[in-house]
Structure 1
Amino acid sequence: MKYPVTVYGDPLLRKKAKEIDKDDPNLKEIIENMWETMYYSDGVGLAAPQVGKSIRLFVIDASSGADEEPELEGFKKVFINPEIIDTDGEEWIMNEGCLSLPEIREDVSRPDEVTIRYFDENFEEHEETYRGFAGRVIQHEYDHLEGVLFIDHLSPLRKRLLKGKLQNIAKGKVIPHYRIKVP
């Protein structure tokens, strides 16, 4: 089932998400629906708050970046109850977008490397370090679990310049090709 994507203006996107109990009977179905929603929406990652669920879960399929970073071939992962342990490396800028902020793309600076501890869909624990595109997508999706949007990394001036677009998103005055849930 494809979920509608929760968009800017919904208070849920600004809340810190709650940990998931490994015995949650709905978890498998939620994960399957998130994959379906992400692929339908042409996303690379999707966090549970973006589909109206305030739980610590995100999915990523960064294999589309394998042309530039061959190690991303087959990179498809589920992150449950993740915790960023460390970020390191030089900050670098990349143009980011977000399904919850349709029609907005901006240059965002993030550290090159992230070390994260998480559980996979089988509740097996992992601690791994990622760089480049995978590291960036992980940081972007993790931010959603903390109630942070990529626009929060922009300068105050840049945010002011986006005010009209953000208001339009909150009012549903955007037409993405996927279903959205307007606040």
Structure 2
Amino acid sequence: MPVRPITVTGEPVLHRRAEPVTDFGPDLRRLIADMYETQDAAHGVGLAAPQIGVGLRVFTWQMDNADGVPAQGHLINPYVKSSRPADGEPDRDEESEGCLSVPGLSFPLRRGLSTSVSGVDMDGNEIAFEATGWFARCMQHEYDHLNGFLYVDRLNERWSKRARKAIKKEGWGVPGTTWMPGVDVDPFGHDDED
């Protein structure tokens, strides 16, 4: 179960709709195992297959929640329906989001406070649950990846301008940029905690 490089904004697979999973064989099991390993090495709470260069509708998560959902899980061919976000400016302290594919940056984004989530697991078993709070945010974030969107694509005008400027400054926004969890310096500062 190897850790895989994480693609950075600008890589085409991140900006197009992922394909449905149709083959539930051993390759899918290996992919999900690799995603868990990569997510763990990157200290992420979620990871979508396009973030490791695979254009399939799969995401994983590792996040405690108050919704009775296992802290670690995966969904294949998911559907996520969210409540409408509240109007107004997002709170910089309470609603800032980050992404392994926009490493080290975070910007405030208003999202729905609850979601209905459904899909299947690697054995084809149906999964359905309601998510709230930050767990709902995680579900929306990962689902966006499967539809070709990064969270920075959803920022309001004020924060979108800052995100575009930061991405340009980093030299991202073009194909071919990745980072390797556990090898490269952690862009979110988790290395500093040890």
Do Structure 1 and Structure 2 share a fold, with TM-score over 0.5?
Answer: yes
* Cα displacement (A) at 1:161: 2.1
Compared CA separation, residues 90 and 98, structure 1 to 2 (3 A): closer
Gaps in structure 1 of 5+ consecutive residues: none
Q: Does 1:117 align with 2:113?
A: no
The 4+ residue runs of structure 1 with deviation greater than 6 A are 171-176
**Residue 59 of structure 2 corresponds to which residue in structure 1?**
58
**Separation in 2, partners of 1:18, 1:27:** 13
* Cα displacement (A) at 1:162: 2.4
Q: Does 1:88 align with 2:83?
A: yes
CA contact (8 A) 2:116 2:130 kept: yes
1:110 aligned counterpart, secondary structure: coil
Scaled by the length of structure 2, what TM-score is found?
0.80
Q: Does 1:38 align with 2:17?
A: no
**Residue 71 of structure 2 corresponds to which residue in structure 1?**
75
Compared CA separation, residues 103 and 136, structure 1 to 2 (3 A): same
CA contact (8 A) 1:5 1:50 kept: yes
CA contact (8 A) 1:83 1:116 kept: yes
Post-superposition CA distance 1:103-133 (Å, at most 9, x none): 2101110111111220012210122211112
CA contact (8 A) 1:116 1:129 kept: yes
Scaled by the length of structure 1, what TM-score is found?
0.84
Q: Which moved more, 1:4-13 or 1:122-131?
A: 122-131
**Residue 109 of structure 2 corresponds to which residue in structure 1?**
108
**Residue 138 of structure 2 corresponds to which residue in structure 1?**
137
How many residues align structurally?
174
CA contact (8 A) 2:75 2:121 kept: yes
**Separation in 2, partners of 1:147, 1:55:** 11
1:109 aligned counterpart, secondary structure: coil
Letter in 2 for 1:148: F
Post-superposition CA distance 1:58-78 (Å, at most 9, x none): 000112xx5xx4x56841111
**Separation in 2, partners of 1:105, 1:42:** 15
**Separation in 2, partners of 1:157, 1:149:** 17
Cα RMSD, aligned residues only: 2.5
Post-superposition CA distance 1:36-91 (Å, at most 9, x none): 0000001000000000000000000112xx5xx4x56841111100012x322653
Q: Which moved more, 1:115-124 or 1:138-147?
A: 115-124
CA contact (8 A) 1:8 1:169 kept: no
Q: Which moved more, 1:101-110 or 1:168-177?
A: 168-177
CA contact (8 A) 2:74 2:121 kept: yes
* Cα displacement (A) at 1:175: 7.5
